Amino acid sequence: MRRAPPQRGPSPPPSRFRRRLLAVMLLAGLIPLALLGALAQGVLERVLSVSIAPVEGVLDGVSEELIRRGLPPDTLDEARLNLAQAELARRALVRRVPVFIAGVGIVAAVVLAVSAVLLGRVLTRPMSTLLEGMRAYSRGDLSVRLPVPEPARDELQFLMGQFNRMGHELLAQQERLKAAEQIAAWQDVARALAHELKNPLTAMKLSLARLSRQDASTPPDPARLTEAVALLQEEVDLLMRMTQSFSTFARLPAPRFQDVSLRVLLAEVCTLYAGTSPVPVVLEPGEDVSLLADPDGLRRLFGNLVKNATEASPPNAPPVRVALHTEEDGRVHVTVRDGGSGVSGVLEGPVLTRGLFSTKPGGSGLGLPIAQKIAHEHGGTLRLEPGPQGGTQAQVTLPRTLSSESSGVAA
């Protein structure tokens, strides 16, 4: 047999927040940068689009005037040379300005992207820490505390501090709830014990009173003495059976989980109790279901339910029917129906263990608490309710795999 395998933790959350934050920061920086680059290129192109052709026309007219007057055009030729150099420079700038603006834009985009990534990590690191804390709380570990400087320097650190305070309060409330549940459980046990012990002790007290009323002058009545002693012995045997039942309940073995074929196990239970049942015990046909469970615990659980159903059924009642099916959520449902007198209402949860009642002679009232305990160790539930056609319908719901909570209970 093997223990329940370790449960896989929840899958890591998607990093959409970080990606969206990075995208927003990049768009917020690149869009203005692209607009400024386009505007600068447009302004430079307009500035550099100024042509020197009109100036050359003016220079030609001045040159003709100088020649007509017989003056040397050396100065004018130097001006023409300067204009030609300026035109070459303008054309070079027209070709290189777009490349320069594109290069500046690429460098600025890279710098902006690196800054956005670094800033995004700084902003999302507290969120990641909070997320890890929430995942720990969802697993039931309320002892996790997030690292927070005192005093908090920003809103996120303040939020992490409040998260730690909430965890501390939840842990304190959980401890108080456990203490209250333990007190309530002991009160229920004490109340049930007082009720169960009262009847045999009262009978024993009456028997002793009858023996003490014997007159010393008359000889003892053997029949009366035998009757009183027999009654005392019967009540002592009842107390011993109750004590043994409580001891059995307190020392139930720890579950050992393994793969179990549930239909085969139910067939074994039905066959076991069919020989002593006043009515047939029928396992309805259906598909087999394999789940991770403790086979001995399940035999005790379903054995108690089938035994109760057969003992509650008179000889002319309908058969005890056991049905097995699975729901869409993957959980397994086992139903045990009988044709007895039935229960008055729905019994589930703490109601099954609140009062150790039994309607059978010599019963200890621990059958349902034991069944409830086994179902709880498997992460399942037990529910008793009136059947649709009379009698009682007991329904057990079990998961196919153990949750971390039920694994901790079983351990």
Q: What is the pLDDT of residue 324?
A: 93
pLDDT in tens, 173-195: 888 887 777 667 666 666 666 76
| Structure-model confidence comparison of residues 42 and 340, the more confident one | 340
pLDDT of 213 > 60? The answer is: yes
Around 349, how many Cα atoms within 13 Å sit in the side-chain half-sphere?
Answer: 1
Contact (CB, 8 A) for 313 and 278? yes
Q: pLDDT: is 211 or 218 the higher one? A: 211
Q: Output the pLDDT for position 139.
A: 81
Handedness of CA 132, 133, 135, 139 (dihedral sign): positive
- State pLDDT tens for residues 229-270: 777 777 777 777 767 666 666 666 677 889 999 999 999 999
Q: Cα separation of 99 and 93, whole Å?
A: 10
- pLDDT per residue as tens digits for the range 149-161: 878 777 778 888 8
The whole-number pLDDT of residue 1 equals 39
Cβ-contact 401, 380 below 8 angstroms: no
CB-count exposure of residue 372 (10 Å: 0-12, 13-18, 19+): buried
pLDDT given for residue 164 in this prediction = 86
Number of H helices, E strands in the chain: 10, 8
pLDDT in tens, 290-327: 889 999 889 989 998 999 899 888 888 899 999 998 88
Is the sign of the CA dihedral 259, 263, 266, 271 positive or negative?
negative
Residue 36 has pLDDT above 70, yes or no: yes
CA distance 228 to 204: 9
Q: What is the mean pLDDT of residues 45-72?
A: 68
Average model confidence (pLDDT) across the chain: 76
Calculate ∠ Cα 27-32-35, nearest 5°: 120
Q: How much is the pLDDT for 6?
A: 43
Query: pTM for the complete prediction?
Result: 0.49
Is the pLDDT score of 275 beyond 80? yes
